[in-house]
Chain A
Amino acid sequence: GESVGLHLPTLSVQEGDNSIINCAYSNSASDYFIWYKQESGKGPQFIIDIRSNMDKRQGQRVTVLLNKTVKHLSLQIAATQPGDSAVYFCAETLGGATNKLIFGTGTLLAVQP
């Protein structure tokens, strides 16, 4: 029979626009969150992280927002460039002894020139 793969949400933006990628995480006890970027044929690459005692953190052209009330994470990319085209994953991890990252299914960002 025909195999069915994961259906990745896709965000299509124009070059120069701002992008917002959203993620709903699963565990209210998670205390650390990471955004990864994965380009075709490469491994996930760290972009930015945030601890649960913060609600916003900024990097170079990227901002992560955390809303613990609704268990929502977002990644904002300013002035999106063609090189930003990739799959973006959020990951959460619990505090304490656990060392596992729990990855979301990812969002495909397609930047149109």
Chain B
Amino acid sequence: DAGVIQSPRHEVTEMGQEVTLRCKPISGHDYLFWYRQTMMRGLELLIYFNNNVPIDDSGMPEDRFSAKMPNASFSTLKIQPSEPRDSAVYFCASRTGGGLRTQYFGPGTRLTVL
């Protein structure tokens, strides 16, 4: 069975450009999480959704970042305009709505903003 799917796996863009990262959670999972990982700050939670509704976006760094989940099988994280300090690996994770809170991570998107 497929795990969390992310695309693209690598993205190189220039400062000021719009970047869209995509995620397909595991089928049947009710929660979807977006994380960012850098050497400076480690793994940071940006936002999470429950049943396609954003629940907590307190980790989103600024208004340049936005996330959507139009349906249960798809989510996007958009950065507009991108800046060099946004360079990081972005992970999507999902989990069920049951008692266990284990999150399952995708392979990540490595973003480089020049």
Contact = CB atoms under 8 A, between A and B. Distances in A.
Nearest to A46: B102
Number of chain A interface residues as a range? 20 to 34
Interface in A26-45: 32, 34, 36, 42-45
Interface in A88-113: 89, 93, 99-101, 103, 105-106
Contacts of B2: none
Does more than half of chain A's interface fall in helix, strand or loop, or is it mixed? loop
B81 to A, nearest CB: 22
Interface string B49-91: 0100001100000000000000000000000000000000001
Given A49-B100, A100-B45, A100-B56, A5 B31 contact: no
Contact of B102 (A5, A34, A43): A34
A78 B31 CA distance: 33
Q: How large is the interface on B (under 10, 10 to 19, 20 to 34, 35 or more residues)?
A: 20 to 34
A6 B106 contact: no
Contacts of B105: 36, 43-45
Interface in B16-37: 31
Interface of B: 4, 31, 38-43, 45, 48, 50, 55-56, 91, 93, 100-108
Given A46-B102, A101-B101, 9 more contacts: A6-B40, A34-B101, A46-B103, A49-B100, A93-B101, A99-B50, A100-B45, A100-B48, A105-B42
16 contacts: A5-B38, A5-B40, A6-B39, A32-B100, A36-B105, A42-B108, A43-B108, A45-B105, A49-B100, A99-B48, A99-B50, A100-B45, A100-B48, A101-B45, A103-B42, A106-B42
